[in-house]
Amino acid sequence: MQENLFTYLTEYESEMIRLRRDFHRHPELSFQEVRTPAKIAAFYDALGIPYRANVGGSGIVATLTGTRPGKTIAIRADFDALPLQEETELSFRSIRPGVMHACGHDGHTAIVLGLAAAFHAIQDELAGTVVFIHQHGEEVFPGGCHPDD
């Protein structure tokens, strides 16, 4: 299974880069995330992976169950941006003045989506369940992860 997982991750590398650049180009501040969770949900819709939307606000929690019994693991990524001006000349730099992904949340989200696609591709080999958590509002207190959710 591990070898197949790495094979699929390698195949999805360009898609993860594309997603990361898209999220980087379109950052959203904490509790103002609309486009990003919609893109995440559309990704899971395309794969046919069930998910819950609007968790704790605009969070997404997707669940992939293997064909054999086993443990449950969770993989988490946050997707909010910071109130900072991007000063790069990258082709995928932020198009929102004063808002940028400066600490990797764009990458976290793209990687978790790539992992979801790879695990989905080997779902028949999977023992157990993988829960993919996409947290909004992580950069502020109290953030988008509440004990009551």
Cβ–Cβ < 8 Å for 84, 139: no
Question: Using CA atoms, how far apart are residues 102 and 83, in angstroms rounded to an integer?
Answer: 9
Using DSSP's 3-state secondary structure scheme, residue 89 falls into coil
pLDDT, one tens digit per residue, over 52-111 is 999 989 999 999 999 999 999 999 999 999 999 999 999 999 999 999 999 999 999 999
Mean pLDDT of the chain: 94
Task: Kindly name the residue from 28, 78, 106, 138 that is annotated as catalytic.
Answer: 138
User: Once rounded to an integer, what is the mean pLDDT over residues 20-42?
Assistant: 97
Instruction: Please report, for the chain, the start and end positions of each structural domain, with discontinuous segments joined by +.
Output: 2-85+97-135
Entry pTM:
0.94
pLDDT at 18 over 70: yes
Per-residue model confidence (pLDDT) at position 2: 87
What lies within 8 Å, CB to CB, of 100 at 6+ separation is: 24, 27, 81, 82, 84, 85, 86, 93, 94
Is 22 designated active site? Answer: no
Selected residue with higher pLDDT from 145 and 42:
42
Is 124 designated active site? Answer: no
Task: Kindly name the residue from 28, 80, 106, 139 that is annotated as catalytic.
Answer: 80
The CATH topology of domain 2-85+97-135 is Aminopeptidase (3.40.630)
Question: Using CA atoms, how far apart are residues 72 and 51, in angstroms rounded to an integer?
Answer: 15
